[in-house]
Structure 1
Amino acid sequence: MIRALLALLMLAAPACAQEATATFGTGPTPFLLRSTTDITVIRPVLTRFAALHPEMTLTYEQWGSNALFARARADCRNGADPADALFSSAVQQMVWLVNAACAAPHRSAATLALPETRRWRDELWGVTSEPAVIAYNKRLLPAEAVPRSRFALLDALRETPELYRGRIATYDIGASGLGYLFAYSDSLEASTFGALMEGFARVDAVATCCSAEIIAGVAEGRYLLAYNVLGSYAINAAGRDVGMILPEDYTLVLSRGYMIPKGSDQRALAGRLLDFLLTPKAQAMLTRAGLVSGLEEAETALPQSARRPIPLSPALVVALDANRRALLLDFWSDTFHLGTVP
């Protein structure tokens, strides 16, 4: 039964529509970018790129990661007209697409300057640098009371379970490719993983769909804490009583993956967009949007040894192995009231 459900999750029909769209520019050359990044976050960068390319009309489609993956797989398999570029936080899915020969190559001085952990086979590139953080409501939880490591979080759940009951949130890993990636990485990295899942179960922690929704819940006070959410969303919500902590035991660092589908009609333009995103000017804009670094903005110092970049490599394909995914999803569903909101 579980494997059948997983097959549906992995191979869902591409009928799943995008969540939102936006258009940049009015030129005669169409360019389609599909992405998991919220339009409001990426808008300034794309506005600038469109201004530099007046010949182009850029259509931006915002998708959930699993739906985007299903659509990209179907386009690659069927030879349908794909997007001209893909930009996703669920990088294990992007690695799968590259491994399945769904990507077109691109090489430039900008891409070659990336560290090896952020490029693979000249077909996938990590554009951003975003930590997975513990976000908290600053009105309801003083900074000194916020757990600063997974060990401290375990202690807090044991000592004051009623304080946290129904008020800790994280991703629903069945619905979120990014959430699944973080959970999978935790299961490999953390000796605390099993105990933390048990602790979450004891306090009726909530698993729900997406970064923006989770952070909104923290800002509104529905949740005291959010575990393993992207720091970029916490930074953008900093004016809404949201603080963030980089876990001191280790902090996962994600680079969103950019890929050019092999059937793209605008490969050259897709390459120019990638090179633009890697320029100092665009990286500065992405920093202001919270999509680059975020490490210096956190409320705690983090040594280099505690940073765990998620590398773009074939090792991520293992995360999508059906048996591993079935075991992790089964374990996760035993822990959380998936999709419920207190």
Structure 2
Amino acid sequence: MRTLRCYWLTLVLGLLPLATLADETLHYPADPTTDAPRPLVVHAALDLPQIEPVLQAFHRLHPEVELTYRNFTTLDLHQRFLKAPDQADVMISSAMPWQYRLVNDGHAREQLSANARAWPAWARWRHELFAFTFEPIVMVVRRELDERYGTIQGHADLLALLERHGRELSGRVVTYDPASSGAGYTYAIEESRLSPRYWELVAALGQARAQLVDTTDDMLEGLIEGRYLVGYNLLGSYARDVVAAHPELRLVVPDDYALVTRRLAFVPQHAPHPDTGGRFLDFLISETGQRLLAEQTALGAIHPALDGPGTAEALRRELGDALRPIDLGPGLLATLDDLKRQALLSRWQREFSRYTAAPP
């Protein structure tokens, strides 16, 4: 999302005198009085404005650490790791199946700190892979859509809207491309299991010639500019602050069901600086780090000691049974089976193209 991202990079540059920016990279040099700087390289699929408060706080606590943070798309992050598994000290991504497969294949170091041992079992796999956020998947609509067609509150409302007004909304709807987005594929396979009407919704999206993109940023940019009237399956953590800054937009946490994704972090087996990597991961799951997530970001904290605004417990109280967290467990591997993946993507394209002579 070029316009929005440039704005955020400018904002971050103004706030961080210790940070220098190049493309999607933040660098915090070690305190110049440190005799032996301790490098830390974090590779992630997590936009800079969301992670910056955590990086800044960690660097204040550990000024001897020379911290480099690089942001990628989910699939690019995964592919880079496979080509060079010894380049990062910490890996972070919301593409849960890909992270799980890397750890299952033996790419992660065991973490046995007090925080790691006490971390909730539902938010970790063994002591190698740790979920540290709680992020609902949402819709974002322009208020003019509400005024023209009525209010959307859930998936059934969206399906009805597209079936009745698909022609009028042609090209004005946007969602992830599951073939090129790891997050989009994850949501597609989870929804195909969860909702008996999911394939009807995919066909309706195709009938409305929905635009397919790779990131939530791409969707938000088009919604802000008015090119799109409704965005489907955005990361709520990215959408919340943008919607708050744009009164013409409305955020919808679906009232029938809302998938919840979680950022997964691990220290690679061949990390060049595993000690500082482990220290950073431990900070992510500490009460201090989690409080930062709850109070200064929209990522959603998991720590069981926290239950105020910005936490998983608060969301559970607000949304109850509508929340559908994606399970962190062996079931994630099935989503990446080559034959199953190809079968799902083939059906997705077939349903999406059902009412058109050619794919949009």
Category of TM-score, reference length = shorter chain: 0.7 to 0.9
- RMSD of equivalent CA atoms: 2.4
Secondary structure of 1:227's aligned partner: strand
TM-score (normalizing by structure 1): 0.85
Q: Distance in 2 between the 1:43 and 1:144 partners? A: 39
Contact 1:25 1:51 in 2 (8 A): no
1:307-329 superposed Cα distances (whole Å, 9 cap, x missing partner) = 11112211101110111111222
Report the AA paired with residue 312 of structure 1: L
Tell me which of 278, 282, 299 is aligned to 1:291. Answer: 299
Looking at structure 1, the residues matched to 27 and 148 of structure 2 have their Cα atoms a distance apart, in angstroms, of 41
Separation in structure 1 between the aligned mates of residue 262 and residue 232 of structure 2, nearest angstrom: 19
Give unpaired runs (5+ residues) of structure 1.
1-17, 337-341
Shift of 1:274: 1.6
Asked if the contact 2:267/2:281 (under 8 Å) is kept, the reply is: no
In structure 2, the CA distance between the partners of 1:19 and 1:102, relative to structure 1 (3 Å rule), is: farther
Q: Which amino acid aligns with 1:320?
A: L
Q: Secondary structure at the match of 2:42?
A: strand
> Residues 196, 291 of structure 1: CA spacing in aligned structure 2 closer, same or farther, 3 A cutoff?
same
Distance 2:273 2:77 in 1: 19
2:209 is the alignment partner of 1:204: yes
| Matches for 1:270-285 after TM superposition, within 5 Å | 270-285=277-292
Taking the TM superposition and a 5 Å limit, the aligned residue runs for 1:1-342 are: 20-27=24-31, 28-76=37-85, 81-142=86-147, 145-238=150-243, 239-240=245-246, 241-287=248-294, 288-292=296-300, 303-334=319-350, 335=352
**In 1, Cα distance between equivalents of 2:115 and 2:38:** 24
Partner of residue 12, structure 2: none
**Contact 1:234-1:243 within 8 A present in 2 as well:** no
Q: Give identity over the alignment, percent.
A: 33
**C-alpha distance in structure 1 between counterparts of 2:286 and 2:38, whole Å:** 23
Give the whole-Å Cα distance in 2 for the aligned partners of 1:246 and 1:143.
20
Conservation of the 8 A alpha-carbon contact between 2:90 and 2:281: no
Over 3 Å counting, the alpha-carbon distance change for 1:212 and 1:267 in structure 2 is same
Equivalents in 2 of 1:145, 1:108: separation in Å? Answer: 52
Long gaps (5+) in structure 2: 1-21, 32-36, 302-309, 354-359
Task: Give me the whole-angstrom Cα distance separating, in 1, the residues matched to 2:84 and 2:282.
Answer: 25
Task: Tell which deviates more after alignment, 282-291 or 61-70.
Answer: 282-291
Q: Secondary structure at the match of 1:133?
A: strand
Q: Is the 8 A contact 1:83 1:261 kept in 2?
A: yes
Query: For residues 114 and 327 of structure 2, what CA distance do their matches in structure 1 show?
Result: 20
55-64 vs 107-116, greater mean Cα deviation? 107-116
Q: TM-score, normalised by structure 2?
A: 0.81
Task: Kindly provide the amino acid, as one letter, of the partner of residue 138 in structure 2.
Answer: V
Q: Which runs of 4+ in 1 moved over 6 A?
A: none
